[in-house]
Structures are given as C-alpha cells and as structure tokens.
Amino acid sequence: MVRHGRYYVYMVECATGTYYSGFTKDLEKRLTLHESGNGAKYLRGKSPVRLMYVKEYRYYKNACRAEGELKKLTRKQKEELVRTFMKTSAVKSGSSGRDGIRWG
C-alpha cells in the first residue's frame, strides 16, 4: 500500500539550542504540540521551539527515509542545512511563514 499526501520533515531549535527533527502530516499542529510540551518527550521543558527547516514530501516512505537521514547529520551539517535553507527560503528569519507557520 502506497501512502501519499503531504508529509513534512522538519527541524526545530529548542530554547536550549539543541535541534530536534521529526516528520508529520500536519506541521502547524505538530509545532503547537511541541510548544505546549505535549509533543515529543525530548522537547518537554525545552520550549519555545523555532522552526529552522522543513521539506515537503508526497510519499510517507520518502518522508520517513528523509527524517532518518536528517537525524544522522552532525550538528555542523545541520547548521549548514539551516543556513542554506534560510538563504533559499522565501520566508526570512523572524517572519510569519506560509499557513501561519512560525519560522526561525
């Protein structure tokens, strides 16, 4: 069975300066969960979080694979990915993003 739709692989920066990566079908809802402390256990007590990177995928399997690859990156590689993403993204740092998404 092929699951398709909209899947998002994302990375947030915690108030502690650490990065957390995940994937979801509903990015805004997931970010709200992370902010409230009801999302990933790792993020509890580390809010606020800022969205630093996001990429959309059509297929669930591709999003799962991409999340795994993102989690394997070193801190330095993640920082470079964020820098590149922020430069190429139409949404600049500190502004409100597409669909009301808060960007880093």
Distances (CA, A) of 74 to 19, 81, 95: 11, 11, 27
pLDDT tens, residue by residue, 10-48? 999 999 999 999 999 999 999 999 888 777 888 888 888
Residues 93-98: what's their mean pLDDT?
A: 43
Are 102 and 94 in contact by the 8 Å Cβ rule? The answer is no
Say if pTM beats, i.e. exceeds, 0.85: no
- Given a contact cutoff of 8 angstroms between Cβ atoms, the answer to whether 14 and 47 are in contact is yes
Predicted pLDDT at 95: 43
For range 59-65, the mean pLDDT: 95
Q: Which pair of tokens denotes residue 68?
A: 């795994």
Residues 6+ apart with CB under 8 A from 63: 7, 8, 9, 23, 57
| pLDDT reported for residue 90 | 54
Q: What superfamily would CATH give domain 4-90?
A: GIY-YIG endonuclease (3.40.1440.10)
Which residues does 79 contact at the CB level (< 8 Å), separation at least 6?
A: none
Q: Could you tell me the two tokens for 72? A: 């394997």
